[in-house]
Chain A
Amino acid sequence: MSKNAEYSDEKWIKLLQTDSNKAIDLLFRAYYGELCRAVYRIVPNKNVAEDLTQEVFYELWKKKDNLIIKSTVKGYLKRSAINKSLNYVRDQKMKFDDADEGEIELKDSKHSPQQKLEAADLQKVIDKAIDSLPEKCRVIFVLSRFEALSYQEIANSLGISIKTVENQISKALKILRVKLAPYRRE
């Protein structure tokens, strides 16, 4: 990892043009895992997540001679990955609109006994809890929680109102609060 600290962003762009094989190699090894996870959080299929992430690097290679990166290379790759993920879920006919704002009644946890789980089991519980959210709600929650997008940015990306974004995130937290109440970190 420390190898990559040597490269500032101008140097990455230059390296992509002078020795693209080496650049792609280094960038891939540095960011593939993280980008795959980011995509996987939105598109719940590991194979598709890897395919989409590879496409990000492939397109970077294709554009290498015409690159204009306004932020960091990592930020650029991340943004590209998120866009691809959102396009993918859109193509899978996941409708994003402002309808479907129904309230959900949840029974309160009422201080259920704390459960300490093995790390791997806790991982499963967390994944399952978030995967159980309604699709639209889940994607909006993920974009807010993990990609540090503002409500405005999320609203723009999905073609919905800011109010809907806020409501969906609150809805997610309501559901997750109840589902995860019995569990604590070690």
Chain B
Amino acid sequence: MKDQKYISFLLKIWKGEAAKEEQEALDSWEKSSDTNKAFIDETKNAWDLTVDYKAGFEPDVDAGLSKLRAKIAAESPTTTKVVEMRPRRTFFKAAVAIALLLGLGFLLRNVLTSTDWQELRVAMGDTQEITLDDGTHIVLNEGSTLHYPQVFGKKRTVKLSGEAFFEVAKDAQRPFIIETTETEIKVLGTSFNVRAYTTEKITEVQVKTGKVSFSPKNNDVALTLGVNDKATFHNETRALIPSKDASLNAISWYSQQLSFEKAPLSKVITDLERYFKIEINLKNTNLETCEFTSIFNKPDEATMMQTLATAFDLRLKQLNPQTYELVGGRCD
């Protein structure tokens, strides 16, 4: 117990707060026996060595900075500039509509019912961007088709087959509606991804910002999805299922980035299969819950597969250009 007194003196001395009497008391106690001296030396030694605690931790600054930038970019909205333009356009359109109502009886009916539908088709291996009449910005993924009117009327409706990322301009008066073959997605102003390839038997929506209402056509049931929510509609079973863990990588085709944050290996594999259009068989299913954290920008397939193999000590086999096998391995 006496030791405590001298330890506290030492601590004060190291902080530069010790009174003269305390320094002197310590010195004389130290000199009074070899045991005491050894005690003081060992305590000083311990204090000295501890300065290196965790000094060996050298985090990857570039990786950390990329991750931070990704988070900052996700928070920077791009729809605002469109909103500023809207009031003028609405005013103009309102003025036009009034003029038509006043002057042109039978022509009016034509204008309202004949919509000037345009078609945008994107080939395989390609992506294309378009900005619509109201300022809504859409990026279409390969093999997709968008039907849209040249000018929006009372409703803003487009038809999508394939996959696209939408940044919908805010317009509280006119909800933006996306029709796919099986479902309808209604939005007020937001950014989200829709995946509805006719070759896949599902329609999937993932929201990045804002709110979306997602429902099967001709059905009163609708799911409201908020930030990072995802839901999938299964064409055959007609089931609309919300998903708890929305994938950070649902829009990888658009962002060219694969991002994993403590993702279970099973999910990493699913995302890689989708991104590279390959099949990956994990032989040791016990590894499905291994956690993986990393970000890859514009990754190439070979490097990505090798990185994964190395991370979990797996043996990588390529059975054919589209199929890989991962054998053995361990989580840590």
Contacts and interface: CB of A to CB of B under 8 A. Distances in A.
Interface of A: 24-25, 28-29, 32-33, 36-37, 40-41, 46-47, 49-50, 53-54, 57-58, 61-62, 109, 111, 120, 122-123, 126-127, 129-130, 142, 145-146, 166, 169-170, 173-174, 176-181, 183-185
Contacts of A130: 50, 53
B52 interface: yes
A142 B54 CA distance: 11
Nearest to B59: A36
Interface string B54-80: 111111010011011001100100000
Nearest to B72: A61
A24 B3 contact: no
B45 interface: yes
Contacts of A24: 68, 72
Interface string B139-161: 00000000000000000000000
B38 interface: yes
B278 interface: no
Contacts of A174: 3, 7
Contact of A120 (B45, B56, B61): B56
Contacts of B3: 174
25 contacts: A24-B68, A28-B65, A28-B68, A40-B57, A41-B53, A46-B59, A54-B64, A54-B71, A58-B71, A58-B72, A61-B72, A122-B52, A123-B55, A127-B53, A130-B53, A145-B50, A145-B51, A170-B7, A173-B7, A173-B11, A176-B50, A177-B45, A180-B45, A181-B45, A185-B48
Contacts of B297: none
B274 interface: no
B54 A58 contact: no
A50 B261 CA distance: 12
A109 B293 CA distance: 43
Contact of B293 (A47, A61, A122, A179): A47
Contacts of A170: 4, 7-8, 11
A54 B61 CA distance: 10
Nearest to A146: B53
Contacts of A177: 39, 42-43, 45-46
A127 B54 contact: yes
Contact of A36 (B8, B57, B68, B262): B57
A144 to B, nearest CB: 8
A109 B8 CA distance: 20
Contact of A169 (B11, B68, B71): B11
Given A41-B54, A170-B7, A173-B43, A126 B68 contact: no
Given A28-B68, A109-B42, A173-B43, 7 more contacts: A41-B54, A122-B49, A127-B56, A145-B50, A174-B3, A181-B42, A183-B49
Nearest to B61: A32
Contacts of B64: 28, 32, 36, 50, 53-54
Question: Can you list the 7 inter-chain pairs with the closest CB atoms, starting with the nearest?
Answer: A176-B46, A180-B46, A36-B59, A177-B46, A181-B42, A177-B42, A170-B7
Nearest to B39: A177
B47 interface: yes
B53 A184 contact: no
B53 A111 contact: no
A41 to B, nearest CB: 5
A16 to B, nearest CB: 13
Interface in B260-294: 262, 293
Contacts of A179: 46
Contact of B55 (A37, A58, A169, A173): A37
Contacts of A32: 59, 61, 64-65
A113 to B, nearest CB: 13
